[in-house]
Structure 1
Amino acid sequence: MTASIVPILPETIALAAEILSEGGLVAMPTETVYGLAADAANPEAVARLYEAKGRPRFNPLIAHVSSWEMAQREAGFPPLARTCAEAFWPGPMTLVLPARAEGRVCDLARAGLETLAVRWPGHRAAAALIEAFGRPLVAPSANRSGHVSPTRAEHVAEDLGERISLILDGGPCVVGMESTILGFQDGEPVLLRPGGLATETISAKLGRSVRAYAGQSGINAPGQMKSHYAPRARLRLNAAAPEDGEGFLAFGPLVPGDLSLSTSGDLVEAAANLFGMLRSLDTRFERIAVSPIPFTGLGEAINDRLERAAYREAG
């Protein structure tokens, strides 16, 4: 049976919370991308989520909360992490923090790590569902693992419609890019994954630079796999123009028959359009060429997603 797509109403939020309390899976909108929600405290529900997505179990999940109190019950907040949270929550920022021993997020959701990735989403429907449920929800992108992330309810239905119970339709995602993930080493902020909040914005607020993570200890936060966000088609990056048989994803003036992330060169608009346009071209072409994207602002996150989408294992 294919999951129903339903509007955001008090009765559908209540239905979604009931499904979650029974260990089911529900897709919910956030400002970043649509998330596949499950009870973060229920190992069986989390296992179903991993199975539905085909997600490797060594890849940790983000716990989504709806209040300061809920966040502080699950994780410890060093001073700089608290500053970040006070400045950017609710919003597209995830913080990787020491997990509290008394926290409710299960070990499977944390992939056995002693840290916990936590986010307070800014979307009213996500906040309402977490509030109605009463405890944290894990909610990775609501798509098959490694595929292009969903920014509309119909994207979720295409990937997971027969694997989940309900899809809450909140319209297109405003940010359209997964959250920025920030960790802390020796008291300093470390970028674990660029995302919907520009690194420059974080640095300006903190009054210090945010350095890139250079550790070699494997995956310690979501979204760090080399191959991720990938369409079926092969991607060719930094292309000035398409070759014969290629679809073209432009950045700037639109070429007839192709798509442009932003005809005006607006990186915020480009981030919001990225996954939807990749999905659209993926249905029509076996190869996609992509214009160069500046590395400033949200361009850092856009390039990160494109590089992972283009990655293919040797051989």
Structure 2
Amino acid sequence: MNHEQLLSLPPDVAGLEKAAAILQRGGLVSFPTETVYGLGADARNNAAVAGIYEAKGRPSFNPLIVHVPDVSAAESYCVFNAAAQHLAQGFWPGALTLVLPLRADAGISKLVTAGLDTLAVRVPDHPVAAGLLRAFGGPVAAPSANPSGRVSPTAAAHVVAGLGGRIDAVVDGGDCAVGVESTIVSCIGEPALLRAGGIPVEALEACLGAPLKTLHDPSTPIAPGQLASHYAPQGKVRLNASGAGKGEVLLGFGPVEADLNLSVAGDLTEAAARLFACLHELDAMGAEQIAVSPIPDHGLGRAINDRLKRAAAPR
């Protein structure tokens, strides 16, 4: 497969039907969600799911998120407890992934779950993603559409640059609005935060009326996005910088002089939407040393800091 063979499909009915047909025959299709672009395959097809791992160079012990069109579809694959039902009612469709017990008759490839008896599932809040899921009529496994460990894509051009010679098609639905991946909550027993993301933890805790536990072991991930080194640009990243040192490019936040700025106004929503696009731009600039301004660690700031800490981790 080469760049010329990568289909760029429009986000209309005809384009989504072509994308669904590719999925049905075991191909790989990138599509936009409200968070980032996903790399989709039929979650029931072992060979197709193996293609995701091969295209991304992703470790096979790192589980995948399955995307479905609605709550009833999710319930056909997973067992919901009261907390899961409450969260799904409050935040689906949206940037929330729930990790739930997998039904014995779900038919989901073991490559999706990395052999676990749980499934990470979500209902995306994006018209193109929703249209593709309806056209396909089945569960779509879809991690972010980037080489493993690299910066996640928030535009079709990012997908083409990273995976253009390795996948079949990309549905070009414009830029992603949220810009960071979904928040992941385990509902195996007491609800626990597995990954900060597009839904602030404070909103989830308000919905549940109780604080979330935090579970994390990067050596044995039970959900996507838990590896210690992830979302990394080419250059070395230094966090909580008051300014750029010698040879550094500054990725700013707030009213600071910077080469690039996530949000001059200090708006966390804008910063989250711009984060991965700015990291891609730093790569395009050839930045070898990157300093990043401090980001407030609340609301979407927690998700931004999570991604930046992984980008700065030793590789």
Aligning the two structures, in what range does the TM-score lie when normalised by the shorter sequence?
over 0.9
| Aligned match of 1:146 | 149
* Structure 1 residue 217: Cα displacement: 7.7
Distance 2:218 2:278 in 1: 33
| Aligned match of 1:268 | 269
* Structure 1 residue 184: Cα displacement: 2.7
| Aligned match of 2:80 | 77
Task: Give secondary structure in 2 for the equivalent of 1:55.
Answer: coil
TM-score if structure 2 supplies the norm length?
Answer: 0.96
Contact 1:96 1:117 in 2 (8 A): yes
* Structure 1 residue 130: Cα displacement: 0.8
Are 1:88 and 2:91 counterparts?
Answer: yes
| Aligned match of 1:298 | 300
Write the mapping of 1:14-53 to structure 2, written as runs, cut at 5 A: 14-53=17-56
Could you list the per-position Cα deviations for residues 232-284 of structure 1 after superposition, in whole angstroms to 9, with x for gaps in the alignment? Answer: 1000100000012211100001526x111111111111100000001101222
Counterpart pick for 2:309 among 300, 307, 310: 307
Distance 1:168 1:154 in 2: 11
Distance 1:64 1:42 in 2: 14
| Aligned match of 1:244 | 246
| Aligned match of 1:235 | 237
Could you list the per-position Cα deviations for residues 49-79 of structure 1 after superposition, in whole angstroms to 9, with x for gaps in the alignment? Answer: 1000000000000010002221111000001
| Aligned match of 2:130 | 127
* AA at the equivalent of 1:98: P
Could you list the per-position Cα deviations for residues 170-225 of structure 1 after superposition, in whole angstroms to 9, with x for gaps in the alignment? Answer: 11100000000000353x21000000000001111111111211568821111100
Contact 1:189 1:210 in 2 (8 A): yes
| Aligned match of 2:290 | 288
Could you list the per-position Cα deviations for residues 25-59 of structure 1 after superposition, in whole angstroms to 9, with x for gaps in the alignment? Answer: 00000000000000000000000110000000000
Contact 2:216 2:226 in 1 (8 A): no
Counterpart pick for 1:253 among 255, 260, 280: 255
| Aligned match of 2:228 | 226
In structure 1, runs of 5+ residues without a counterpart are none
Counterpart pick for 1:175 among 158, 174, 178: 178
Counterpart pick for 2:166 among 150, 163, 166: 163
In structure 2, runs of 5+ residues without a counterpart are none
Distance 1:283 1:67 in 2: 38
Distance 2:117 2:60 in 1: 15
Contact 1:97 1:117 in 2 (8 A): yes
Contact 1:29 1:35 in 2 (8 A): yes
* AA at the equivalent of 1:267: L
Are 1:193 and 2:195 counterparts?
Answer: yes
Task: Give secondary structure in 2 for the equivalent of 1:174.
Answer: coil
| Aligned match of 1:112 | 115
Percentage identity across paired residues of the two chains: 53
Distance 2:159 2:256 in 1: 28
How many residue pairs end up in the alignment? 311
* AA at the equivalent of 1:253: P
Task: Give secondary structure in 1 for the equivalent of 2:113.
Answer: coil
* AA at the equivalent of 1:95: L
Are 1:136 and 2:139 counterparts?
Answer: yes
Distance 1:242 1:57 in 2: 38
How large is the Cα RMSD of the aligned pairs?
1.2
Contact 1:63 1:105 in 2 (8 A): no
Distance 2:292 2:307 in 1: 12
Task: Give secondary structure in 2 for the equivalent of 1:283.
Answer: helix
Contact 2:99 2:188 in 1 (8 A): no
* Structure 1 residue 81: Cα displacement: 0.5
Task: Give secondary structure in 2 for the equivalent of 1:253.
Answer: coil
